[in-house]
Structure 1
Amino acid sequence: MSSHMLDTDVLVIGSGGAGLSLALRLADHTRVCVVTKVALRETNTLYAQGGISAVLDKKDSWESHIRDTLDAGAGLCNPEVVRFVVSQGKDCIDWLLAHGVPFTEFHTDEGQTHLHLTREGGHTHRRVVHADDATGAALETSLEKHVRNHHNIRILEYHNVIDLITERKRGMPGQRVLGAYALHTLDNRVKTLRARIVVLATGGASKVYLYTSNPDISTGDGIALAWRAGARIANMEFMQFHPTCLYHTQVRSFLISEALRGEGAKLLLPDGSEFMSRFDSRAELAPRDIVARAIDHEMKRLGIDCVYLDISFKPAEFIRQHFPMIYAHCLELGMDITRSPIPVVPAAHFTCGGVLVDINARTDIPGLYAIGEVASTGLHGANRLASNSLLECLVFARLAAEDILREIDQAPMPPALPDWDESRVSDSDEEVVVSHNWDEIRRFMWDYVGIVRTSKRLERAKHRIDMLQSEIAEYYGNFRVTGDLLELRNLATVAELIIRSALGRKESRGLHYTRDYPRTDDSQAPKATILSPSVGQDSAFPPG
């Protein structure tokens, strides 16, 4: 297996809404290479159902959207970041419309056409722009067409990044990022990718849990890459569990959009009784952490496998028109949601923490940026407000692009980089170790570091991940890399970061709920959890 060098000005790792929108904003001015570990469109963005939150209604306001975001974030949002991101909502929607994203519209009696807005949990107004119930697919496929047709964008599909290359790792003075090594999983060759600027846009890490709404690719790659390169990681204890994923024993998890609850759908127990009003005055429209914990509580209290989400009281045509993908998918499984409720359970959905960045999406490492779900920007705090994620992707892609274009002329092209060295490793004859460890991590993370935590459970998880980290490191050092091994290595790193962060927070706040510290501790100013690889220990800093 030999490697070869590829040069570019900006290396974008990841091809979701953040990565593709950044590439398009840069490509008229500089060379861009987009690297993705599977097909270009196979991303978290593709599966996003709900929409993009933006203040477009005259009855709505920035102040209202800001308040809703801060309320959901439970004291850990950066107010300046929140205000700026909210203020960019309309511009982002206009940019997407200009790139052909087919958002759902409605026509007034006067013959006017407007974007249809829906409402989701935690929002006090209708402000979610959507393309039926498949907004992510509409966005991803529209941007993909532009990226594939741009002469200044090179695309490397089926390339799994092994590690970032930095000056520090090369024994050089300084810490600047120089590029990355990437395994081409179709022919098992390793490429050396040299770049002036590197951007992580790899999405989240929810595949670290046994049950997740995310596709199989969501293995926390960018977070692990940044951590190993020396960047700080923030707020990893705040893993969002979507309250309503389809419960079905024969198929993988399938998200049931929060927009159903925005249109009035009710959560029911098996006997048909409603229960959310016992947990929050906002009932089904409470923030996701509250709804997920309420469902988890009822499932454990009653010993049931799921609860039910009912929208069948709405006209059948309304349901088919507003939720065509969910309707069709459930119908394929023998469930007609116009006639009966949907069995649902919570599942890991969104990583609220990530690589710590500033308002320009810069990390601690010179030349390295992070955008989208991989980043901790200060927008989400302890819990993400529904449909703020795609908004964050678009806004920080724009901010990163503007900053990169200011800096690119001064950013040096790195010196020649060495080939990937595999002279001291061999092919593995123990692949079962990879699959076994993969399953073990996801199971104990679900059991011990899930929706409801205890210190004892977290300590058990820490003990297990420490042992597995040693086992994985030994395996990595002895055998040639494979795509499965790289994902396992990254999953283990992310699991450790989540566990350490959760152990360090001696309170319940937002998405982090522990029975040992069930109350939010407001005796001191809320602080983000910051993990720093440079000192190897946790430290706390004010949000932002």
Structure 2
Amino acid sequence: PVPKSISAARSARILCLQDSNSNTKYFDFVVVGSGVAGLRYALEVSKHGSVAIITKAEPHESNTNYAQGGVSAVLCPSDSVESHMQDTIVAGAYLCDEETVRVVCTEGPDRVKELIAIGASFDHGDDGKLHLAREGGHSHNRIVHAADMTGREIERALLKAFHPTALADEGLPIKPTNRRENAFLITEAVRGDGGILYNQSMQRFMPLYDERAELAPRDVVARSIDDQLKKRGEKYVLLDISHKPREQILAHFPNIAAECLRYGLDITSSPVPVVPAAHYMCGGIRAGLQGETNVKGLYVAGEVACTGLHGANRLASNSLLEALVFARRAVQPSIDHMTRSSLDIHASTMWTRPVLPTSLESHAMQEILFRTKTTRVELQSIMWEYVGIVRSTSRLKTAEWKIGELEAEWEEFLFRREWKPMMVGLQACEMKNLFCCAKLVVSSALARQESRGLHYIEDFPFLEESKRKPTIIFPTSLKLTWSSQQAHKLAAGAPL
């Protein structure tokens, strides 16, 4: 935070203090991430102080931009908050925090209306009302959407809401320059719109696993597909929407149709090969009802947060909803914290400043980049192979060991090429974060000795009521290496 006298002097552009002796800039609010949560929060707090939005790539490059389905909210007279709550809790295998669920389901409709007021354009039916779709796990049509590109439309509207002079010095380009590889999702809305899953013998299989068939929650569908693939020794199943009218398919799923055509697949006339994919992190930094954490002044919203909404499995289209609700709830507490705080320039000396690896020889840097790229692929393979849809204690322990070995080898490789602990680079920072997240997922999975929601473990295949409580991992319970060591501890000379 900056001094109150500075906070009082506001205009339409971002104002910040800058240390004349360094390149350090000081803002009232720093927002890390430019997805729906970050941008929605920034729009509000920018009315009360200077804001820096930090994103590692183009502003559009966020998980929000890849969210196809929509935002779930009670906007139909035949629907109810209680029904939305019940669907959320059932999908979450009764591990959801009921108070959080009520808050999100109650406040959701107003958050959607705010988006519309900001300029987001959602699909409407012939009657002029919002077209509400249905997805797996929902008992009513309550998904507000913009065809199959809802996240992209929300991101567009929020970015446009910023006046150009209210952005960072470099400005915010509207179109991303890079394309994300190997990340094309088929929205759950295809199943909600009548899509049917078949094995390669064109046998419909979902009714064999759940009475809700294709409208079962995603954890049930993912396990069912996984079971079919293993039993039949096949690589994929088929999702078919071609029995629906061509015009309806193209109207509801234009992006999916176009993307599939790039690979020679016409979804209006033939089924699409699909497999389950790692998609969303249900856990995260533990947060209260205002997005607050146990770190004073740090608020979280969106996929980074664990609010208790999702429980053991996220209900379709509840992710954008949660981000909107908690981004808005974190605003006033943040303002209150900022106004009663004062700037302590010396606080930053607790942390050794990160440095770019400019001192490294170019060949050493190239070797590090290549090794990091291959290490990332190896880590992904370990997680998919040992920490996937169906787990076991022995395989989780194997993953724990393999991840530890891989991390140690990667770190040793870097340090042998003169990499220093406080050096930073995009690929290295991402690799550190991936190792940290992987270890957290494995630790959490080992701690839950029951099968609940998306966590299915063969050693404990049943629900245990006595274990119906959230898993909390404390930093001290993890074996820390350079990758997961806190920077201020490194600065203090803590052993690696």
TM-score interval, smaller chain: 0.7 to 0.9
1:219 is aligned to none
- Structure 1 residue 424 displacement after superposition: 10
Indicate yes or no: 2:144 matched with 1:88. Answer: no
Q: Percent identity?
A: 45
Shift in alpha-carbon separation, 1:436–1:329, aligned structure 2, 3 A: closer
Verify the 8 A CA contact 1:34 1:154 in the aligned structure 2.
yes
Verify the 8 A CA contact 1:120 1:262 in the aligned structure 2.
yes
Shift in alpha-carbon separation, 1:476–1:459, aligned structure 2, 3 A: same
Verify the 8 A CA contact 2:206 2:214 in the aligned structure 1.
yes
SS, match of residue 139 in structure 1: helix
Indicate yes or no: 2:393 matched with 1:452. Answer: no
SS, match of residue 34 in structure 1: strand
- Structure 1 residue 520 displacement after superposition: 1.1
How big is each residue's C-alpha offset from its partner over 1:36-70, in whole Å with a ceiling of 9 and x where there is no partner?
Answer: 00001111101110000000111100000000000
2:160 is aligned to 145
SS, match of residue 308 in structure 1: strand
Bigger proportion of residues as strand: 1
Q: Which amino acid aligns with 2:301?
A: I
1:486 is aligned to 429
2:446 is aligned to 503
Alpha-carbon separation, structure 2, partners of 1:391 and 1:446:
28
Moved more, 420-429 or 37-46: 420-429
Q: Which amino acid aligns with 2:82?
A: E
Alpha-carbon separation, structure 2, partners of 1:7 and 1:133:
39
Indicate yes or no: 2:463 matched with 1:530. Answer: no
How big is each residue's C-alpha offset from its partner over 1:497-520, in whole Å with a ceiling of 9 and x where there is no partner?
Answer: 011111111111111111111111
How many pairs are equivalent?
A: 440
How big is each residue's C-alpha offset from its partner over 1:193-218, in whole Å with a ceiling of 9 and x where there is no partner?
Answer: xxxxxxxxxxxxxxxxxxxxxx86xx
- 1:132 is matched with which residue: 140, 147, 154? 147
Verify the 8 A CA contact 1:33 1:155 in the aligned structure 2.
no
Indicate yes or no: 2:256 matched with 1:256. Answer: no
- Structure 1 residue 414 displacement after superposition: 2.7
Alpha-carbon separation, structure 2, partners of 1:136 and 1:59:
26
SS, match of residue 69 in structure 2: coil
SS, match of residue 226 in structure 2: helix
Alpha-carbon separation, structure 2, partners of 1:61 and 1:488:
44
- Structure 1 residue 156 displacement after superposition: 6.9
- 1:277 is matched with which residue: 194, 197, 207? 207
Task: Give 5+ residue unaligned stretches, structure 2.
Answer: 1-20, 173-178, 480-496
Verify the 8 A CA contact 1:57 1:127 in the aligned structure 2.
yes
- Structure 1 residue 147 displacement after superposition: 2.5
Verify the 8 A CA contact 1:27 1:150 in the aligned structure 2.
no
Verify the 8 A CA contact 2:101 2:309 in the aligned structure 1.
yes
Q: Which amino acid aligns with 1:384?
A: R
Verify the 8 A CA contact 1:35 1:157 in the aligned structure 2.
no
- Structure 1 residue 269 displacement after superposition: 1.1
Q: Which amino acid aligns with 2:160?
A: K
Alpha-carbon separation, structure 1, partners of 2:393 and 2:98:
31
Task: Give 5+ residue unaligned stretches, structure 1.
Answer: 159-214, 217-250, 538-544
Q: Which amino acid aligns with 2:375?
A: N
Bigger proportion of residues as helix: 2
2:61 is aligned to 42
Q: Which amino acid aligns with 2:313?
A: N
How big is each residue's C-alpha offset from its partner over 1:271-322, in whole Å with a ceiling of 9 and x where there is no partner?
Answer: 1110000100000000000000000110111011110011111111111111
Indicate yes or no: 2:435 matched with 1:420. Answer: no
1:381 is aligned to 311
Indicate yes or no: 2:97 matched with 1:154. Answer: no
- Structure 1 residue 475 displacement after superposition: 5.5
1:15 is aligned to 34
- Structure 1 residue 341 displacement after superposition: 0.7
Shift in alpha-carbon separation, 1:118–1:422, aligned structure 2, 3 A: closer
Q: Which amino acid aligns with 1:529?
A: T
- Structure 1 residue 149 displacement after superposition: 3.0
Q: Which amino acid aligns with 2:469?
A: K
- TM-score by length of structure 1 reads 0.78
Q: Which amino acid aligns with 1:268?
A: Y
Q: Which amino acid aligns with 1:52?
A: V
Verify the 8 A CA contact 2:357 2:425 in the aligned structure 1.
no
Shift in alpha-carbon separation, 1:473–1:425, aligned structure 2, 3 A: farther
Q: Which amino acid aligns with 2:260?
A: C
2:246 is aligned to 316
1:434 is aligned to 372
Alpha-carbon separation, structure 2, partners of 1:300 and 1:3:
59
Alignment of 1:153-302 (within 5 A): 153-154=167-168, 252-302=182-232
- 2:75 is matched with which residue: 42, 47, 56? 56
- TM-score by length of structure 2 reads 0.85
Verify the 8 A CA contact 2:265 2:272 in the aligned structure 1.
yes
Shift in alpha-carbon separation, 1:149–1:382, aligned structure 2, 3 A: same
2:301 is aligned to 371
1:350 is aligned to 280
Shift in alpha-carbon separation, 1:472–1:119, aligned structure 2, 3 A: same
SS, match of residue 112 in structure 2: helix
Q: Comparing both chains, which one has the higher relative contact order based on Cα–Cα distances under 8 Å and sequence gaps of 6 or more?
A: 1
Alpha-carbon separation, structure 2, partners of 1:424 and 1:449:
34
Which structure is larger by alpha-carbon Rg, 1 or 2?
2
SS, match of residue 369 in structure 1: coil
Verify the 8 A CA contact 1:69 1:380 in the aligned structure 2.
yes
Verify the 8 A CA contact 2:357 2:424 in the aligned structure 1.
no
Alpha-carbon separation, structure 1, partners of 2:59 and 2:264:
32
Alpha-carbon separation, structure 1, partners of 2:93 and 2:169:
40
Alpha-carbon separation, structure 2, partners of 1:497 and 1:534:
12
Alpha-carbon separation, structure 2, partners of 1:353 and 1:157:
33
Verify the 8 A CA contact 2:135 2:189 in the aligned structure 1.
yes
Verify the 8 A CA contact 2:355 2:424 in the aligned structure 1.
no
- Structure 1 residue 474 displacement after superposition: 4.5
How big is each residue's C-alpha offset from its partner over 1:394-426, in whole Å with a ceiling of 9 and x where there is no partner?
Answer: 000001112112221112223243472559994
- Structure 1 residue 365 displacement after superposition: 1.0
